[in-house]
Amino acid sequence: MIRINPYEIMLLIEPEVAEERHTEIIERTKTTVTGAGGTWHGVDPWGKRKLAYEINHHTDAFYYVLTFDAPVAALEEAARVLRITDGVLRFMAVAKAAKGSSAPAEPAEASA
Protein backbone atom coordinates (compact mmCIF):
# COMPACT_ATOMS: atom_id res chain seq x y z
CA MET A 1 0.00 0.00 0.00
CA ILE A 2 1.31 3.44 -0.95
CA ARG A 3 1.26 5.99 1.84
CA ILE A 4 -0.36 9.33 0.97
CA ASN A 5 0.86 12.36 2.95
CA PRO A 6 -0.48 15.94 3.08
CA TYR A 7 1.97 18.50 1.65
CA GLU A 8 2.19 22.20 1.04
CA ILE A 9 4.59 24.01 -1.28
CA MET A 10 5.45 27.68 -0.86
CA LEU A 11 6.31 28.81 -4.39
CA LEU A 12 8.04 32.09 -5.30
CA ILE A 13 7.92 33.17 -8.94
CA GLU A 14 10.17 35.88 -10.38
CA PRO A 15 8.47 39.30 -10.64
CA GLU A 16 9.06 39.72 -14.43
CA VAL A 17 7.27 36.47 -15.31
CA ALA A 18 3.90 36.96 -17.07
CA GLU A 19 0.67 35.93 -15.29
CA GLU A 20 0.01 33.27 -17.97
CA ARG A 21 3.34 31.66 -17.10
CA HIS A 22 2.33 31.54 -13.40
CA THR A 23 -0.72 29.51 -14.40
CA GLU A 24 1.41 27.19 -16.56
CA ILE A 25 3.86 26.52 -13.72
CA ILE A 26 1.07 25.78 -11.24
CA GLU A 27 -0.85 23.60 -13.73
CA ARG A 28 2.30 21.61 -14.49
CA THR A 29 2.80 20.99 -10.77
CA LYS A 30 -0.85 19.96 -10.44
CA THR A 31 -0.54 17.55 -13.39
CA THR A 32 2.62 16.05 -11.89
CA VAL A 33 0.96 15.49 -8.51
CA THR A 34 -2.34 14.07 -9.82
CA GLY A 35 -0.57 11.95 -12.45
CA ALA A 36 1.38 10.20 -9.69
CA GLY A 37 -1.73 9.38 -7.66
CA GLY A 38 -2.03 12.53 -5.57
CA THR A 39 -5.06 14.66 -4.76
CA TRP A 40 -4.89 18.38 -5.50
CA HIS A 41 -6.53 20.66 -2.90
CA GLY A 42 -5.82 24.08 -4.33
CA VAL A 43 -3.73 27.18 -4.75
CA ASP A 44 -3.66 30.17 -2.40
CA PRO A 45 -2.22 33.18 -4.26
CA TRP A 46 -0.58 35.66 -1.88
CA GLY A 47 0.30 38.17 -4.59
CA LYS A 48 3.48 40.15 -5.11
CA ARG A 49 5.45 40.71 -1.90
CA LYS A 50 8.79 42.15 -0.93
CA LEU A 51 11.44 39.54 -0.10
CA ALA A 52 13.13 39.62 3.30
CA TYR A 53 16.48 39.57 1.46
CA GLU A 54 17.58 39.77 -2.16
CA ILE A 55 17.56 36.50 -4.14
CA ASN A 56 19.35 36.43 -7.52
CA HIS A 57 19.12 40.25 -7.71
CA HIS A 58 15.34 40.22 -7.11
CA THR A 59 13.81 42.20 -4.25
CA ASP A 60 10.22 40.94 -4.65
CA ALA A 61 8.36 37.90 -5.96
CA PHE A 62 4.90 36.44 -6.50
CA TYR A 63 3.97 34.03 -3.70
CA TYR A 64 1.70 30.97 -4.01
CA VAL A 65 0.85 28.21 -1.53
CA LEU A 66 0.02 24.87 -3.20
CA THR A 67 -1.71 22.20 -1.09
CA PHE A 68 -2.17 18.54 -1.98
CA ASP A 69 -2.05 14.95 -0.70
CA ALA A 70 0.38 12.66 -2.51
CA PRO A 71 2.85 9.79 -2.22
CA VAL A 72 6.47 10.74 -1.57
CA ALA A 73 7.41 9.91 -5.18
CA ALA A 74 4.93 12.52 -6.45
CA LEU A 75 6.41 15.18 -4.18
CA GLU A 76 9.93 14.29 -5.33
CA GLU A 77 8.89 14.57 -9.00
CA ALA A 78 7.08 17.90 -8.41
CA ALA A 79 10.20 19.24 -6.64
CA ARG A 80 12.42 18.06 -9.50
CA VAL A 81 10.21 19.79 -12.07
CA LEU A 82 10.05 23.04 -10.07
CA ARG A 83 13.85 22.99 -9.61
CA ILE A 84 14.42 23.08 -13.39
CA THR A 85 11.52 25.36 -14.35
CA ASP A 86 12.41 28.83 -15.64
CA GLY A 87 10.72 31.59 -13.69
CA VAL A 88 10.68 29.77 -10.34
CA LEU A 89 12.75 31.85 -7.95
CA ARG A 90 12.51 29.56 -4.93
CA PHE A 91 10.20 26.94 -3.41
CA MET A 92 9.92 24.91 -0.24
CA ALA A 93 7.81 21.80 0.27
CA VAL A 94 6.62 20.92 3.77
CA ALA A 95 4.82 17.84 5.05
CA LYS A 96 1.79 19.04 6.97
CA ALA A 97 0.72 17.32 10.19
CA ALA A 98 -1.99 14.72 9.56
CA LYS A 99 -5.44 15.50 10.94
CA GLY A 100 -5.71 14.41 14.54
CA SER A 101 -1.93 14.46 15.00
CA SER A 102 -0.36 16.91 17.41
CA ALA A 103 3.16 16.35 16.02
CA PRO A 104 4.73 19.35 14.26
CA ALA A 105 5.14 19.16 10.47
CA GLU A 106 8.61 18.24 9.19
CA PRO A 107 10.25 19.95 6.18
CA ALA A 108 10.12 17.56 3.23
CA GLU A 109 12.19 19.25 0.51
CA ALA A 110 13.75 22.63 -0.13
CA SER A 111 15.33 24.12 -3.20
CA ALA A 112 18.66 25.86 -3.19
Residue type present at position 27: E
* Pairing verdict, β 58-70 and 5-13: antiparallel
Helix (H, G, I), strand (E, B) or coil at 59: strand
Q: How many domains does the structure of the chain reveal? A: 1
**pTM higher than 0.85, yes or no?**
no
Range(s) of the domain holding residue 15? 5-110
Query: Which CATH number does the domain housing residue 83 bear?
Result: 3.30.70.60
The conformation of residue 25, written as its DSSP 8-state character, comes to H
pLDDT in tens, the chain (112 residues): 778 899 999 999 999 999 999 999 999 999 999 998 899 999 999 999 999 999 999 999 999 999 999 999 999 999 999 999 999 999 999 998 866 555 555 555 555 4
Question: Cα separations (Å) of 83 from 2, 27, 101, 104?
Answer: 25, 15, 30, 26
Question: Cα separations (Å) of 92 from 8, 32, 80, 102, 112?
Answer: 8, 16, 12, 22, 9
